[in-house]
Structure 1
Amino acid sequence: MSDHAQQAGLFSMMGTADAQLKNKKPAAGQAQTQPQAQKKGKGPKTFPKISVYYAGNTIDLPRSGMTQDEVHAFLEQDYRELAKEHSELIHDEKRGLLIAYVKGHKKGASAAAFLEDAVPLTVLPEPPEPHSPQRRLFHVLADDGVYEGRRTQVGTFAARVPSPLRAESGFELSVAKPPAALLAEIVSAFRASPRVERLANVLYRGGGRLGDGHGSYEVHWPDQDGTPVSVEAPGLVETDETFTVVQIHSHGHLPAYFSDQDDDDEARTGLFGVVGRCHEGIPEMVFRFSVNGLYGFASAAEIFAESRRGELAAISRDLRPDRDANRKEGIRWASPRR
């Protein structure tokens, strides 16, 4: 296929503004007139609600009566090069379009930061279809970050969006850690009933506004029905002053791991734990946090405060959030929910 044929195919697929420019003709019986830019008194010239042609795309203005400065500001949100100081607008009255173009080019090294201001992005799970309204500019989530994609007459381009932030999975409590003594109380109760599963909530009861440091902790045992392989309990109505910091359930004689049923039940954002092998002298435990069904493992020491060194180790054997170690213990890393 020739370069010309490839370009023609791309124009056809994208529905480019070049074709729209050629085909934008008045219907039979209509005069060949289009909305005119208006200038009232000595104020700035304003444009009707028309479209802007740039880089093979037709961009609709959000409203009528926009000044040239307002049009530049609108376009600059998606096209940095169309800032007022770098570009010009030509009003093609015959076709009823504004033609945007870059006034000139100046290249050279610069120490300026690429991203000066943070802007919200709508990130898609996959690139939009060629005829989608988002085809000219889109952001796609990849395994190594967010990529910005743009389509012009020349083709489709994509580059990873730089970020000054380094994000890691984790959590940070807005209240003090609950004492390890509460975990000891819970594990003791689990060991006393190793043949059935049980569930407990570590409740924070605040003395004022959320996280003001004047609250207290307690173990809450809801009404529940337990079997050797399951436990059911009603939910808790939470407020800013009374809420669950971590929910823990037992697996009786079975190992400590998060099952498929646990994944379904623990989509709520928060902290969760499982205590297994409750019939043994020192049971095993594992903790994780959930972010709307996206999970990450945590250690007991990240959640509970020890009053003395080694207190947590004496309560239960903690399965650390190490990927290989957890796999050996049969712990499954839950997949992100769709």
Structure 2
Amino acid sequence: MKLGIHTYSWSLSDLLESGLQPFNVVAGNDGRLYEIRHSVLGTIVVPAEHLRKLEKIPQGFQFNLPHIPGEKLAKAITFFRDYCSNGTDLEVMVSFFYHPKTKEYFVDCPIQRVSKVRIEYEELNYEKEGFIEVLQIHSHNSMDAYFSTVDNNDEKRFLLYGVVGKVDQEQPCMKLRAGVNGHFYDLPLDYIFDEPNLTNEADYPASWHKRVSRF
């Protein structure tokens, strides 16, 4: 795209083929923009900053789906509590799915191997049934709710992520965020959930226990 003496390009090879202008901006495979200045003096390439010809892009996350019913969260927390009682202190996780046609959510438990500080699981896929995955939540058993370095490295998909801590206590704590490729935005619970109450309980399928094993 050429704007006067300014040229913007996604490809360096295309830019060079079309010919350098005095002021050029090209995208690199590291996700950054680079400014190429060209004159009789020579050619210089530097990271691009404060490009007045481009618009400022607001950062953040906007939730486009209905709120997740609070009882779905209660189902997950009840499950988490059962793996943090009677001497057991394990992390477990569940996934939340949404169907655009029925406008309903459901929660499911993937096959997983767990310990106090680690979970390895098999991804659930309900795309053929028309569901989309919205949220993954894992427990921190008796520990506080925080996203660990392991979580930051694992949670690369464009998804909502939650962690619930101190589930052995009457009032658990929870953190929630949206993320993709290592970039995250913290979210308040009521932005995603309808009347979230971390002390509520709800029944979950007994079959979930068959999908959980220890390292």
Question: 2: CA distance between counterparts of 1:81 and 1:283?
Answer: 59
User: 8 Å contact 1:271–1:288 — kept in the other structure?
Assistant: yes
- What is residue 220 of structure 1 aligned with on the other side? 108
Change (3 A) 1:79 1:282: closer
Matched residue type, 2:97: L
Runs (5+) with no aligned partner, structure 1 = 1-76, 83-118, 125-132, 208-213, 307-311, 317-338
Change (3 A) 1:273 1:120: farther
Question: 1: CA distance between counterparts of 2:37 and 2:140?
Answer: 52
Question: 1: CA distance between counterparts of 2:8 and 2:71?
Answer: 44
- What is residue 305 of structure 1 aligned with on the other side? 194
Q: 1:79 Cα shift? A: 6.1
Secondary structure at the aligned position of 1:160 is classed as coil
Q: 1:176 Cα shift? A: 1.5
- What is residue 244 of structure 1 aligned with on the other side? 133
Secondary structure at the aligned position of 1:315 is classed as coil
Secondary structure at the aligned position of 1:257 is classed as coil
- What is residue 204 of structure 1 aligned with on the other side? 98
1:187 paired to 2:77 = yes
Runs (5+) with no aligned partner, structure 2 = 13-18, 200-215
Aligned to 1:288, which of 177, 193, 200? 177
Matched residue type, 1:226: V
- What is residue 198 of structure 2 aligned with on the other side? 315
Q: 1:245 Cα shift? A: 0.9
- What is residue 37 of structure 2 aligned with on the other side? 150
Q: What is the TM-score normalised by the length of structure 2? A: 0.70
Matched residue type, 1:250: S
Matched residue type, 1:253: S
- What is residue 35 of structure 1 aligned with on the other side? none
Q: 1:182 Cα shift? A: 0.8
Q: 1:305 Cα shift? A: 1.9
Change (3 A) 1:218 1:123: same
User: 8 Å contact 2:27–2:34 — kept in the other structure?
Assistant: yes
Question: 2: CA distance between counterparts of 1:139 and 1:246?
Answer: 35
1:276 paired to 2:165 = yes
Cα RMSD of the aligned pairs, angstroms, is: 3.2
Change (3 A) 1:180 1:123: farther
What is the identity percentage for the equivalent residue pairs of Structure 1 and Structure 2?
27
User: 8 Å contact 2:25–2:33 — kept in the other structure?
Assistant: no
- What is residue 68 of structure 2 aligned with on the other side? 178
**Aligned pairs, number:** 180
User: 8 Å contact 2:5–2:21 — kept in the other structure?
Assistant: no
Higher relative contact order (CA 8 A, sep 6+): 2
Change (3 A) 1:182 1:167: same
User: 8 Å contact 1:247–1:273 — kept in the other structure?
Assistant: yes
Q: 1:159 Cα shift? A: 6.5
Question: 2: CA distance between counterparts of 1:181 and 1:252?
Answer: 20
Secondary structure at the aligned position of 1:275 is classed as strand
Matched residue type, 1:221: C
Question: 2: CA distance between counterparts of 1:261 and 1:183?
Answer: 23
Q: Which has the higher strand share?
A: 2
Matched residue type, 2:62: F
